[in-house]
Chains A and B, each alone.
Chain A
Amino acid sequence: MDIVFLTFILVLAVFLGFELISKVPATLHTPLMSGANAISGITLAGAFVAAGISGNDMANWLGGAAVTFATINVVGGYLVTDRMLSMFKSKRSTGK
């Protein structure tokens, strides 16, 4: 039942993703891509489980490395996206 339930979520999320992205103007393709990239760092939430597996050093090392990599993805991804978006200005706000 778990499998069916999870697959159900998967399919709905895929359709939602297609709906959300299909009408984005070309100007925003890069921020969109790097913003989505930051979201893929969600693996961080899973990495905590791995880091905490008791009684196995190997698992903890792998988990710790996963936490590090995922944090790079999350922190770097969001900051870079924000930096890019802060440069997008409308004619009015440049005020010249």
Chain B
Amino acid sequence: MIDLIANFSYIVSAALFIYGLKMLGSPATARKGNILSSIGMLVAVVAALVSDGAAFEIIAGGIIIGAAIGLLAARLVAMTSMPEMVALFNGSGGAASLLVGWATLYQSTDAGISGFTAFTIALAILIGGLTFTGSLIAYGKLSEKLNSAAFVFSGQRLLNGLLLLAIAACVYRFCTDPAADSVYLYGLLGLALLLGIMAVIPIGGADMPVVISLLNSYSGIAACAAGFAINNNILIVAGSLVGASGIILTNIMCKAMNRSLANVLFSGFGAVKVGKAVEGEVKPVSVEDAYYILEAASNVCFVPGYGMAVAQAQHVVKELGHILEANGCEVSYAIHPVAGRMPGHMNVLLAEADVPYEQLVEMDDINPRIENVDVAIVIGANDVVNPSAREDEDSPIYGMPIINVDQARTVFVLKRSMASGFSGVDNPLFFGENTRMLFGDAKESISGVIGEFGS
């Protein structure tokens, strides 16, 4: 009877998840959608607790510790370090699925474990483990605790191939003779954790949006596999919803870079070809001159990139945008799909600075009317505005859709110095006829311009 009620509650919570995800698709209803989905989670958790809960002291302890950590982390993290926080949460979801799969082995030992159940347990351990360590590495790279460049060494592919073979062998041997003390189980555990590390180290910082959304998808698939292992509907439904949504986001990110998923995962960026060296002279501009040009402009478009996050410049950018608007100028913010380190990274930062979302425009909307933009201000973006992607067939980023700022009347590029961007590709934009370089810290430069407006 209790089981029946629990299963009906699962249906309610699945409906809430689905409706919540749907509402997350529009800015006006998104917050409500998230709350609905959290109510769905509450319903599912209470139902599971009532029908399966035993050992309440263990459960209560786990929930109290987990809730405290989650609460503190979510409250204290700065908006600029959001990508690594999401990676960590994701990793803990993967770890949980791994542990559930593992613990299930102890439950059904006397009754015997069917081959199918053993296989789903192996999947939960494999995908959960790889999500866990993969997310940790992604966290390290995003927070710059690890070198964020692609880490490639000779024999890497061979090693990864052997790793996959070893995993397949372990899964096979484990499924034929499933037991909690099987050597192959421990082998699988270790190899899955190793695979997560090996899968993420060769991926460079600029490709992180793809990795984050892929890992997100994996954590859903892991939950789904754990659901099969313990015969639980809601885990399967919720897990596969997350898995599918993660795959779609991954796909959007890959398309935005004009690369296949395989290309992102298996090749270190820039290792393939070296584009033409760019020659020419850069034209620096002073803060004062920048002010005169902006003062006369009637249409200004900001193009932010990861550098804006690093310089924490989103608030001064918004302030400048506000001043320009008061000056009778049309202001917009053009955001490339892969700008920053996670999908939609720039949108979140600008939202934090109170920029209304109507002013944020996507690449495909701004490009047709970029010629009417008087001044395009590039803040800490490089590859996503690099005209080589359009013109130079030898460039490693050739074919990637970009925001065509070089076709605006004037371009300001805010840049710390003349080093090339993350991918190590030269950017002809800096040498363009209509480009002016504003060297220095982005935040200070913009504050300087704001000061000029004040005086």
Contact = CB atoms under 8 A, between A and B. Distances in A.
Interface residues of A, number: 81
Contact residues on B (Cβ < 8 Å of other chain), bracket: 35 or more
Interface string A21-43: 11111111111111111111111
A69 B73 CA distance: 13
8 contacts: A26-B337, A40-B90, A62-B102, A66-B62, A66-B96, A69-B96, A84-B351, A91-B356
Contacts of A50: 99-100, 103-104, 107, 230
B122 interface: no
A42 B77 CA distance: 23
Given A56-B106, A83-B74, A41 B248 contact: no
Given A41-B93, A91-B356, A71 B62 contact: yes
A48 B244 CA distance: 25
Interface string B339-361: 00011110110011010111110
B243 A45 contact: no
Nearest to A17: B244
Given A62-B102, A64-B61, A72 B69 contact: yes
Interface in A1-60: 2-3, 6, 9-10, 13-18, 20-54, 56, 58-60
B228 interface: yes
Interface in B194-226: 212-213, 216, 219-220, 222-224, 226
Interface of A: 2-3, 6, 9-10, 13-18, 20-54, 56, 58-60, 62-91, 94
A90 B357 contact: yes
B358 A90 contact: yes
A83 B360 CA distance: 19
A70 B53 CA distance: 15
B243 to A, nearest CB: 7
Closest 5 CB pairs of A and B: A71-B66, A17-B244, A67-B62, A52-B54, A29-B344
A20 B21 contact: yes
B45 interface: yes
Contact of B241 (A13, A27, A46, A53): A13
Contact of B344 (A28, A68, A69, A79): A28
Contact of B93 (A6, A43, A56, A81): A43
A68 to B, nearest CB: 4
Given A17-B248, A33-B343, 4 more contacts: A51-B55, A51-B59, A87-B352, A91-B356
Contacts of B232: 45-46, 49
A18 B248 contact: yes
Contacts of A94: 354, 356
B372 interface: no
Given A9-B236, A76-B69, A79-B74, A52 B53 contact: yes
A10 B358 contact: no
Interface centre among A26, A38, A39, A52 (most CB of B within 10 A): A39
